[in-house]
Structure 1
Amino acid sequence: MNDTILDWIQQWFLNNCDGTWELGEAIQINTTDNPGWEVEIDVSNTSLATLAIPQILNEKNKNDWYSVKIEDKTFSASGDAQKLQFLLGLFKETIEKIEGIEP
């Protein structure tokens, strides 16, 4: 089966629901005014909880950029208007790398 990133995120969310975590702001996807996307995912109950990654910014131009970091038990990523799937993919890759899962 060829799962999409949305299939993966939905399953990851379901796997992490514990009766409490999902009652907060576990996953937030917002638009920004530049225009772009912002993704914040609470990783407090995951293998990323103790991990901190300083902000990484990759900016080719005002229409081709992204930023990602893990801080205060939150995965935060933002990017231009065409980067939503890419940003969610970065989260998936980070989870799989930390947990030693082969994609």
Structure 2
Amino acid sequence: MRDAGNVLERLERWYAAQCNEDWEHTYGVKIDTLDNPGWSFKVDLTDTYLLGRSFEKVQEGQNDDHADFLYWEVKDRQFVGYCPPHRLREVISIFLSWAEGPPAR
């Protein structure tokens, strides 16, 4: 589970870097459960350096049993990701790789 701690530490650092005594009062990071079952992961991009940065939508594994679906995109000024119960770290890692990486040219 070392990887899980690393992902969480990276998310903590990213979140703390956005907090400027204003952003955190209106925006933030939200992790919630889905009823199919799974997770939703949403990050408000408003007033961050990520707003306007390109990001490609990905949708994988949408089938009748929803057992191994993955979905993420930037929509309505948010990074949004949805995944099954065992893949939350993966969606958070995808966000962080994009957020910590250089802007696309």
Shorter-chain TM range is: 0.7 to 0.9
Q: Give the alignment's TM-score, normalised by structure 2.
A: 0.82
Residue 34 of structure 1, aligned match among 10, 33, 36: 36
Written as runs of structure 1 = structure 2, the 5 A alignment for 1:1-103 is 4-53=6-55, 55-59=57-61, 61=63, 62-99=66-103
Structure 1 or 2: larger helix share? 2
Query: SS state of the match for residue 76, structure 1?
Result: strand
Report percent identity of matched pairs: 22
Q: What runs of 5+ residues in structure 2 fail to find an aligned partner?
A: none
Letter in structure 1 aligned against 2:94: L
Query: SS state of the match for residue 67, structure 1?
Result: strand
Q: What runs of 5+ residues in structure 1 fail to find an aligned partner?
A: none
Q: Give the alignment's TM-score, normalised by structure 1.
A: 0.83
- Report the Cα offset of residue 15 of structure 1: 0.8
Size of the alignment, in residue pairs? 99
Structure 1 or 2: larger strand share? 1
Query: SS state of the match for residue 64, structure 1?
Result: coil
RMSD: 2.1
Work out the CA distance in 2 between the residues paired with 1:65 and 1:98. Answer: 28
Query: SS state of the match for residue 92, structure 1?
Result: helix
Distance 1:25 1:44, change over 3 A: closer
